[in-house]
Amino acid sequence: MKGPLDGVLVVDLSRALAGPHATMMLGDLGARVVKVEAPGRGDDTRGWGPPFVDGESTYFLSANRNKESVCLDLRDDADRAVLLALVRRADVLVENFRTGVMERLGLGPDVLGALNPRLVQLSITGFGHDGPEGGRPGYDQIAQGEGGLMSVTGPAPDDPQKFGTPICDLLAGMYGAYGVLAALRERESTGRGQVVRTSLLAAAVGVHGFQGTRWTIAGEVGRAAGNHHSSISPYGLFRCADGAVQIAVGSEGLWRRFCAGFGLDPDEPGMATNPQRAAARADVVELVEKVFADWTADALLDRLNELGVPAGKVRSLDEVYAWEQTLSQGLLIEVTHETLGTLRLPGPPLRFFDLSGQERTRTGHRPPPVLDQHGRSIRHWVE
């Protein structure tokens, strides 16, 4: 299997993470992705570390599988001609420059659209292309703060915390790829491309979920509440004899099952319904941790599984990548890198099956490229 996007050509002018994550997703689906990098230094993330392995940034390796690399100086006439030749052949172009940069390079949407009316153009910015702060530069942690995510993350309202991954960058890339797929689908009926725009701010607001409507409808400002859900109880991380486990008692049926399994009264005053338990969250946490105090984590997880109560442990990343369930889902792949040899990389998060249940497994994932690895072949191809 080559992938659902086999035959789609993506020109990737982006750097850092949001744009590269979008193009990696398209590459995972089988598109041919040509990554255009600045001569000499390449993508910014080639210099982001530690850790480096034999001079290669593991940060860069995380966002650039299934791509080819060509170095082009967009201000050089000969290199610019190579880029324009790629644009004429492309189905998609992705960039995440600040607002106005593409126009100053003479590569605005109108110019690119005139070269290739079928081109789908994805542009990702920090705070949007227009509006009173549309030109602001944006990096992930800035957007996490400005977009409200840090205010609902952390142990307490006065101790905001960022996510452990660059979540706004990753989500903007995901939303961008989603928009590109929709535009490609529409092109099938119209024959024309279009411009798709998103931002780190849009990505942050796009995942507010219940915290958003908590404010817009109920007028209540959500605040950081640590490892316990603000609307469901008990739901969170609970200490036990030798560590902690997580449980999610997300329905009244589960609450009754949980109580029956641990000798609790489900109709105890003040705890009979989820709204009551959520309002008395501290009391619920104290009650549950008292019950769990004599249980080891492993024994507790076995018991919760017997009861059908959703539960789990908190795994470190090395444990996640050694976990048989992770491996069974194709979430670790092997590629052969130009200089590093065999690499194990986090794998694509999608799997495809035919209607008989047979998995349509993609073969031949490309490793992240070294700088300008495919420059000669790409230049020859567009001559």
Which residues are tagged catalytic? Answer: 169
> Token digits for 165?
């991954």
Tokens of 177: 């790829």
Other CB atoms within 10 Å distance of the CB of residue 204: 22
Query: How distant, in Å, are the alpha carbons of 33, 137, 290, 304 from that of 300?
Result: 47, 48, 13, 6
Contacts of 341 (CB under 8 A, 6+ apart): none
Contact 29, 62 (CB under 8 A): no
Contact between 44 and 16 under an 8 Å Cβ cutoff? The reply is yes
Measured CA to CA, the distance from residue 109 to residue 378 in angstroms comes to: 23
Task: State how far the Cα of 224 lies from the Cα of 317, in Å rounded to an integer.
Answer: 24
Q: What is the DSSP string of 311-352?
A: EE----HHHHHH-HHHHHTT-EEEEEETTTEEEEEEPPS---
